Amino acid sequence: MNRIFAIFVLVAAALHRCAADDSDTPAVTCGSAIKITHVKSGAGKYLLFDSEGKNRQGGSGQHLATWLRDDPSNNRAMWWIRPAHHGVDDTEYPTGGDASKHRTCHRAAEEVKCGDTIRLTNMATRRQLHSHQVKSPLSNQQEVSVYEGQDFGDDWVVECVESSGVWRRGETVRLKHVQTGGYLGASPEAEFNERTCGRNCPLMHHLESFTRGGKDHLSEIRAEQGIYLHI
């Protein structure tokens, strides 16, 4: 993982200098590093975030993914778009016998199409956005964590709402967890605060991130600013 991450940083820096897509609605591509917002979370822009906090009420013991209001100084809201898990840790893109069982990208800067399966790795912590059959702490949906390892629990399908072709910045999509079938989401009603988490809550004013079977406005997200690789 460290080797792959180092290679990505070098490639991304080179591509960004000569071929970053700076249009208003660039396509999300494999190798891009982007911020993701929750569409219907009320006033303020909530970003998907590696909280580095844990569920103190039980759960998996992994760090939780949450949603936090946009803060320019925050470096844990940037997510690296990667191909679906294919079981070979030292190879970033699936090739030949290592090909993923899901439709996914096979090279850097390839557009992420509606229906593709991807992974999201946090750029600051190098953990994977992950879900499983574990109850989330506030809403009792399914927990969304940021996982230090790599497995098929990291895979998400991109379901487009405003497009039938390619995932683009600013367009509404949903992320469906492959293993559980739940949709990534949030709700203003599921906030960590003194009432729900205690006075010394380490996740104060974060929104809980969860997956659930419901396919509604709570699961609508958008790609925002970032480095969009384009060749």
Q: Does the structure show a pLDDT above 70 at 16?
A: no
> Are residues 203 and 53 in contact, defined by beta-carbon separation less than 8 angstroms?
yes
> Are residues 98 and 54 in contact, defined by beta-carbon separation less than 8 angstroms?
no
What's the pTM?
0.87
> Are residues 122 and 150 in contact, defined by beta-carbon separation less than 8 angstroms?
no
27-63 per-residue burial string, b: 16 or more CB within 10 A, e: under 16: bbbbbbbbbbbbbbbeeebbbbbbbbbbbeeebbebb
Consecutive H or E run containing 63: strand 63-69
> Are residues 118 and 105 in contact, defined by beta-carbon separation less than 8 angstroms?
yes
> Are residues 9 and 220 in contact, defined by beta-carbon separation less than 8 angstroms?
no
Q: Does the structure show a pLDDT above 70 at 141?
A: yes
The total domain count for the chain is: 1
Query: Residue 8 phi/psi, 5° resolution?
Result: -60, -45
Query: What is the average pLDDT across 46-60?
Result: 74
pLDDT in tens, 170-180: 999 999 999 99
pLDDT confidence of residue 6: 53
pLDDT confidence of residue 3: 57
Q: Does the structure show a pLDDT above 70 at 154?
A: yes
Q: Does the structure show a pLDDT above 70 at 224?
A: yes
CATH code of residue 158: 2.80.10.50
pLDDT confidence of residue 220: 96
pLDDT confidence of residue 98: 75
Q: Who has greater pLDDT, 73 or 148?
A: 148
Query: What is the average pLDDT across 165-194?
Result: 95
Range of the domain at 32: 2-227
pLDDT confidence of residue 54: 61
Query: What is the average pLDDT across 217-230?
Result: 94
pLDDT in tens, 71-106: 777 889 999 999 999 878 778 998 877 777 889 999
pLDDT confidence of residue 20: 52
The neighbouring-strand residues paired with 54 are 63
